[in-house]
Structure 1
Amino acid sequence: MAEFHDLAELALNREGQSWGNLGYWQSETEYSDACRAIALLLGEQAGLDRQSVVFDAGFGCGDQLLLWLEHFRVARVRGANLSRIQTAYARTKLAKAGFSAAATAIVQGDINDPEVWRATLDRNKPSHVLALDCAYHFPDRVAFIALAHKNLAPAGRLALTDFMLSDQHRTGSFTHRLLRWMLKRSHIAEANIVRRDLYLSQLQEAGFGEVRIVDISEHVMPGFARFIRTFRGSGKLGGSGPLKYAVTGRFLQWAHRRSILRYCLISATKTGR
């Protein structure tokens, strides 16, 4: 059975790259560069350094794992990803780059399953939990936040990029019904898309403090939509790719223009034990 999260994004990347996020388009014009740019933002917001032990929730095809290792020079990476085909690809990518230990420290599994965390970490608590452009796809983001807090080392950091419902958006409207339909088609749980104040409360209730939320919608949503329009016209996408990305691009352009969704960079520090 085909997986929803597969290797389709390879067609969007330059040769040798396999990024799979929405990108940060403030100055970038190529997909691989924009994807790397948003990963750099996340790593900087998280405060990654040579002492960092990273657990990457939803690492895709592995490009971001290499960024943590090569650019930030983190001490170790571990992680879990739902897609079997992506996880296999990421393992191969890490091993070819000379990071065999990291290749064996990432697993395929549901990030909402406590056993996946337990098996991956083996009682070694990470200093950082990262989720780059994927938390909205988790079955239950609140449960993920709770698991991140439970498994982080004391004063550990959670950093992610995620969608939020705009404060201006009215639930119960026709536009909201369209949003719900699009979320379902995109395999996004409606409960994961909440307003900023509720998102902040969910982090605080899980035991996180020093929460920082930065709205980067302007440099993410319209930029990705613009790129997809141009890329589709080049004829480089085959199979189901053109329709999949055309729908995503139009949806993001619509959601941004109508102030329905916001895309944010979020970080928080674990409080308590």
Structure 2
Amino acid sequence: MKLNKGIMRLAQISMPYFDILLEQLRMGNPAVQKAFGRHVHWGYWANPAEADGSVEDFAVAAENLCQRVYAAASVNEHEQLLDAGCGFGGTIASLNEQFKNLDMIGLNIDPRQLDRARQEIKPLANNKITFVEGDACQLPFADGSMDVVLALECIFHFPNREEFLQEAKRVLRPGGRLGICDFVSTPIFKTLQQVVNTFTKPVISGTFGRSDSCFTVSDYRTLAQKTGFQLTTQEDITRHTLPTYPVVCDLFDQAGYPKAVRDVAAVEKISQVGLLRYFILSFTKVPT
């Protein structure tokens, strides 16, 4: 029943940027394939000044970000892991290459993304990989069945962060870990969005679909306590992600999507002035 209800939400979810990426991948666009054929999230550069603006450099940075998030969640071999909002399966692919004896599940509400993941990723090193269609806020898994839950750059699409954390806690074993990366507002930007929602919402949603960025680090601390988690990592990596924006704008421009270029450039400006931050956060389930 949970799975069916979750899938029903797909009809209410608009993800224009995935429509663009899937179209470009079908057309065989080599730049989009290199940049987003595996990971569909921002990149991490240890030294942003060394970013060269190429899709090859961006692909390495996207892999770096992925690895930083699952390192924050302390993934170990012989664990059961769920990647919620798994996209094209890039995180699963990376874990598959770096670890042995993992039982990994990638979950997504969009069957198109799962189809690509299933085609592209095959298990290595005694790993097990399963892709499941479902809703991250109504997880179709048993209580206490996971050691780790990940959600890379997708939680802002979910209907409700609290629902997701409650579900993550439910499926995690005692001491289990949750690792995410998210766009996090400063308090002043949260207030601005709430007051001037007619300005901020179209900027974010025009290309990225339903996106809730009205959440601060303080909100995460409060939510962690409310849902039975301990916040163990909060790393502001905004500066290290900024070279992403010119690459993404250039890709959308070359593909002929001027509105997407404008929307990404607007988010870039908001991030450059420090109103919107990019955080890696990890949590541990508090034993009861």
- TM-score scaled by structure 1? 0.83
Contact 1:21 1:133 in 2 (8 A): yes
Q: Which amino acid in structure 2 is aligned with residue 187 of structure 1?
A: G
The correspondence of residues 98-247 of structure 1 with structure 2, limited to 5 A, is 102-103=128-129, 105-113=130-138, 117-118=139-140, 121-122=141-142, 125-169=145-189, 171-172=191-192, 177-185=198-206, 186-190=208-212, 193-220=214-241, 222-231=242-251, 235=254, 237=255, 242-243=257-258, 245-247=260-262
Q: Could you tell me whether the CA contact under 8 Å between 1:224 and 1:249 is conserved in 2?
A: no
Q: CA deviation at 1:145?
A: 0.7
**CA–CA separation in structure 2 for the residues paired with 1:16 and 1:257:** 23
Q: Confirm whether residue 260 of structure 1 aligns to residue 275 of structure 2.
A: yes
What does the per-residue CA deviation read over 1:27-61, in whole Å, with 9 as the maximum and x for residues that have no partner? 45422112111001111111112133210001111
Q: CA deviation at 1:71?
A: 1.0
Kindly report which structure 2 residues correspond to 1:3-82, keeping only aligned pairs within 5 A, or say none.
4=15, 5-6=18-19, 8=21, 10=25, 11-14=31-34, 17-27=37-47, 28-29=51-52, 30-73=57-100, 75-82=102-109
- Where 1:107 maps in the other structure, the secondary structure is strand
Change (3 A) 1:147 1:170: closer
Deviation at 1:247, TM superposition (A): 3.0
2:148–2:177: 8 Å Cα contact kept in structure 1?
yes
2:114 maps to which residue? 87
Query: How many Å separate the matches in 2 of 1:229 and 1:181?
Result: 18
Q: Distance in 1 between matches of 2:280 and 2:192?
A: 27
Distance 1:45 1:172, change over 3 A: closer
Specify the code of the residue in structure 2 equivalent to 1:253: E
Give secondary structure in 1 for the equivalent of 2:100.
Answer: coil
Q: Please give the per-residue CA displacement for 1:160-203, whole angstroms capped at 9, x wherever unaligned.
A: 0011111343625776642233234332344x521211121011
- Distance apart, 1:74 and its partner CA: 5.3
The 8 Å contact of residues 81 and 146 in structure 2, kept in 1 or not, is answered as: yes
Whole-angstrom CA distance in 2 between matches of 1:75 and 1:172: 43
**Which blocks of at least 5 consecutive residues in structure 1 are unaligned?**
none
Report if aligned partners of 2:39, 2:90 keep a CA contact under 8 Å in 1: yes
Contact 1:169 1:260 (8 Å CA) reproduced: yes
2:46 aligned partner, one-letter code: Q
SS in 1 for 2:173: coil
Give the length in aligned residue pairs. 259
Maintained 8 Å contact 1:209/1:270:
yes
Q: 1:84 to 1:99 in 2, by over 3 A?
A: farther
Where does the alignment leave 5 or more consecutive residues of structure 2 unmatched? 1-10, 26-30
RMSD of aligned alpha carbons: 2.9
AA of the residue aligned to 2:209? H
Structure 1 CA distance for aligned equivalents of residues 236 and 36 of structure 2: 31
SS of the residue corresponding to residue 149 of structure 1 reads helix
Q: CA deviation at 1:248?
A: 3.9
Distance in 1, matches of 2:155 and 2:126, equals 27
Q: Could you tell me whether the CA contact under 8 Å between 2:81 and 2:103 is conserved in 1?
A: yes
- CA distance in structure 1 between the partners assigned to 2:134 and 2:19 by the alignment: 14
Letter in 2 for 1:262: R
Look up the equivalent residue of 2:223 and give its one-letter code: Q
Instruction: Classify 1:198/1:168 alpha carbon distance in 2 versus 1 (closer, same or farther; 3 Å).
Output: same
